[in-house]
Amino acid sequence: MRKKFFIYGFLLFLIVFAIYLKTDRGFLLVIIIPILLVIGIYNALQEKHAILRNFPVLGYFRYLFEMIAPEIQQYFIERSTDGRPFSRNQRSLVYQRAKNIDSSTPFGTQQNLNHDSYEGIKHSIFPAKVNEELPRVLVGGKDCKQPYLASLFNVSAMSFGSLSENAVRAINIGAKKGNFYQNTGEGGLTEFHLAGGGDITWQIGTGYFGCRDAEGNFSPEKFSEKANLPNVKMIEIKLSQGAKPGHGGVLPAAKNTEQIAKIRGVEPHTMILSPPGHHAFADIKGLIHFIAQLRQLSNGKPIGFKLCIGNTAEFEAICHEMIAEDIYPDFITIDGAEGGTGAAPLEFADGVGMPFEPALIFVNKTLVGLNIRDKIRIIGSGKIISGYSILHAIALGADMCNSARGFMFSLGCIQALRCHNNECPTGVATQNKMLMKGLVVTDKSDRVYHFHKNTLHSANELLAAAGKNSFADVDINIFMRGDEFGHLSDSYFPDILTNVTKK
């Protein structure tokens, strides 16, 4: 291909040049063709890129198509029910609710309801009245002096750094309007999290950003200063994150601006890798005592921890240590291995940690089995973007739910998969000032508010359809699975209808 390129390229140049001399036409081609030939010569001689070496100019199309591959996939290839991590239908649902427009769909479901993976709610022919009041959950155990009446649905952990300042501000203003909380993520509590006056859950990660000393260790004094701000309603210790459990947070160098570096107390324009584990404690007993320490430093605010379940024996050991010390967290946040992230190694995202549903079931059953379930609230954080997913999480054992990517969609995220390289086209997950300007805070804060409100209203409607008056009455028995009807011999007369067919 290289030989053909140079042979035909030089011949074409000579022909065009001759035409130009005779007719005075083709001036641009006389300029462009030599430029392409120079580029071709350079690429033919370089030794780093095999495609460009063999296809000196056409090879650039490969990089062009690779760059726009996610958009091609989204807009021209995938069906409405396809798409990962979220399908087009799921994203559209969030967009419609965030814009406060009709989110109904025409003609019927596009799901394969006869597949054994189908799940649905067992509705009642005597539905309950839909509650127009949005549900709330009281968080605070026996040692909590400042219990918090939280919304059933809140914003999961997303750091300033991973998100733009406009995105963080819009979420906080929306949280204030809707009376729900925003989790700061491990990047620290910043002025943008406080800008709108919304409630805050301050997450303390392994980097202790915002409450660290010069050596990067936990600083009780700095923690106490921020923990006692009136906007801070709860504190969450991050043990692990679903997308990269056991790895620690990642902020690419391209997103580590001087502003963010100053907030976090690190060098700017370098990749920030949080330690995999905490330095403030080294074992289970230390974790339990750290919970007690933070509760004291915050003057009795709710303290909890977030984790993705891995070794189940470790969580059981934590529970036994709670009982032995008579010290309990006020809440535990369960993240699943399918959780979202701004940046993570692929091996960790794809191959580490327990998925959300079995993890939630395990944690709930463990606490129930040890007779301590009533002391601790469980927060479910795993692809929660609809009223159905809220109800499903509660049926599996959660008391309340958090969502990160759902609220990103409400801000305008299009799942462009550019979170890690600072090129988010919607200004949500970037520190590029020009891209950030595309996100208008006043408009997007309204969308955050409407998404929260309409999603909880949908959950209330589903609750009523199941014949229930309270989310406390929800358990797994209100759901059916497709595999209940999976046997071929039962295709038309499933086991559940045995009594009917015998009559």
CA nearest neighbour of 291 among 339, 225, 223: 223
Q: Could you tell me how far CA 405 lies from the centroid of its own chain?
A: 4
Nearest to 414, CA basis, from 63, 62, 64, 73: 73
Q: How many domains does the chain have?
A: 2
pLDDT tens digits along 25-45: 777 777 887 888 888 888 888
Query: CA-based angle 401:339:377, to the nearest 5?
Result: 30
Residue 90: inside a domain, yes or no? no
Say if CB 279 and CB 217 are below 8 A apart.
yes
Please, which pLDDT band fits residue 496 given cuts at 50, 70 and 90?
low
Residues 38 and 174 placed together within one structural domain of the fold: no
Domain-embedded: residue 96: no
Closest CA to 40 of 53, 50, 28, 49: 53
**Percentages (nearest 5) of helix, strand, coil residues in the chain:** 45, 10, 45
Question: What is the C-alpha separation between 122 and 475, in angstroms, rounded?
Answer: 11
- pLDDT per residue over 280-295, tens digit each? 999 999 999 999 999 9
Closest by alpha carbon to 391, among 100, 153, 137? 153
Select from 24, 51, 67 the last residue of a domain.
Answer: 67
* pLDDT the model gives residue 75: 66
Residue in the structure block whose two tokens are 């198509």: 65
Q: What amino acid occupies position 79?
A: R
Per-residue pLDDT at 56:
81
Question: Residue 465, CB half-sphere, CA atoms under 13 Å: how many?
Answer: 14
Q: Is residue 100 part of a domain?
A: no
| Same-domain pairing of 164 and 33 | no
374-431 tens-digit pLDDT? 999 999 998 899 999 999 999 999 999 999 999 999 998 888 778 878 888 889 999 9
Q: Is 464 exposed, middle or buried (0-12, 13-18, 19+ CB in 10 A)?
A: middle
Please tell me the distance from the alpha carbon of residue 475 to that of residue 160, in angstroms, as a whole number: 36
Give the DSSP H/E element, type plus range, for residue 332. strand 331-335
Identify the domain containing residue 29 by its residue range: 2-67
Confidence class of residue 259 from pLDDT cuts 50, 70 and 90?
confident
Q: Say which residues have a Cβ less than 8 Å from residue 356's Cβ, sequence separation at least 6.
A: 242, 334, 335, 336, 337, 338, 339, 380, 381, 382, 383
pLDDT of residue 52: 81
Residues 146 and 27 in one domain: no
CATH number at residue 149: 3.20.20.70
Q: Are 427 and 437 in contact (CB under 8 A)?
A: yes
- Flag whether pLDDT at 9 surpasses 90: no
In a domain, 485, yes or no: no
Asked whether residue 332 falls in the same domain as residue 435, the answer is: yes
Burial annotation 26-50 (CB, 10 A radius, 16+ → b, else e): beebeeebeeebeebeebbeeeeee
